[in-house]
Amino acid sequence: MVGHSDLKVIINKEIKNFHSIWLDEKGTINAIDQRKLPFSFEIFQAKDLKQTCFAIKEMVVRGAPLIGITAAYGILQAANAFIGEDFSQLEKKLKNASEELAKTRPTAVDLFNALYRLEAVLDSSLSVTKNIESVKSMVETIVKETLEECRGIGEVGNRLIADKCTIMTICNAGALATIDFGTALAPIRKANEVGKEITVYVNETRPRIQGGRLTAWELHNEGIEHFINADGAAGHLISQGKIDLVIVGADRIVSNGDIANKIGTYTLSVLCKEHKVPFYVAAPRSTFDLKTASGKEIIIEERSGEEVRTAMSIDSINETKAKRRIIHHPFSQNVNPAFDITPAKNISGIITPTEILQQPLEQSIKRFFG
């Protein structure tokens, strides 16, 4: 484990600190295996590009900023594995690596933004050695920026959270989805740190239960009061006045302010608009896609119906090896869109590392990026 981390992990009743991902001295990617949480805590190791692509595609790692960092590490792995002095061959190798990484998941824009930034540092006038150093330097910059921006999101977003506030969130936009701190969970962490009394309602987030498995795991480790609710219970809780504020993450924010986020986010935004509950999105700069005009143009990832038909479970709290079990009619067909689009008009504001972008979002985003 390199560097200080604020992600608390309780192992054998002892609190330890981890980043969600790190690169060791051998160039191996080490990542908390999010497929196994909360039932067991395991570190997945990706020693080459193929294993790194697997980690992204199969959701060993997930969350837009973390996917971007993992892809950046994958490019660095490919660069470090290059043997030779021919720049054109290095460029070709990294282009091929970038294309493989780009195929893993289509919706989260942080992946593509990271790949673009790494492609841009290549310079044919420099030696192969210097180019590999440039790639390494840019990867370090991406990691550092993500850490700093998520910390900033916590500071800025904390202004929205009053003492005794009840906050609802969906999916996991915590340290597990970034590298530390989180996006939607960063303000919650900060509010807890400064002594505010808060309660978090966690939408379980079918079908992969990222809320019930991952967000709840993070909040438990932080000692933050929380309740897991079925996705379908959100409307009742909001209509009963139990929710003061909703904060969600994002996988892509386009130039008009529309966002793509975990399936069910759009539903939450409609409920909030109906009941006049503030609905905020938290994201670093890397999650903005200014080249895309509206949410209608975003590709929505369709995942396997197996995720809908089955769920990981254990028979008792003492078990650590979860089993995947069929949970409903096994012969029916399933649809499994992983994300939905929330229109800008349903969003109260976007929490960035330095300020909260207000309505009209399209104008605020344009000003924010200058």
Count other C-beta atoms under 10 Å from residue 212's C-beta.
21
Q: What does the DSSP 8-state code read for residue 301?
A: P
Query: Distance (Å, rounded) from C-alpha 226 to C-alpha 38?
Result: 15
Query: Distance (Å, rounded) from C-alpha 55 to C-alpha 49?
Result: 10
Look at phi and psi of residue 325 and say left if phi exceeds 0, alpha if psi is from -120 to 50, else beta. beta
Residues 6+ apart with CB under 8 A from 263: 337, 338, 339, 340
How far does Cα 329 stand from its chain's mean position? 31
> Partners of 280 in the beta sheet?
247, 349
Residues 6+ apart with CB under 8 A from 177: 20, 62, 63, 64, 65, 66, 183, 214, 249
Q: Exactly one of 251, 258, 289, 340 is catalytic; which is it?
A: 251
Strand ranges (E), 197-258: 198-203, 226-229, 245-248, 252-254
Query: Distance (Å, rounded) from C-alpha 203 to C-alpha 215?
Result: 9
Rounded to whole angstroms, the maximal C-alpha distance in the chain is: 67
Instruction: Check if the beta carbon of residue 186 is closer than 8 Å to that of residue 153.
Output: yes
* CA nearest to 179, candidates 57, 366, 2: 2
Could you confirm whether 123 is annotated as catalytic? no
Q: Residue 269 is encoded by which pair of tokens?
A: 């935004």
CA–CA distance from 297 to each of 117, 248, 291 (Å)? 22, 21, 10
Active site residues: 251
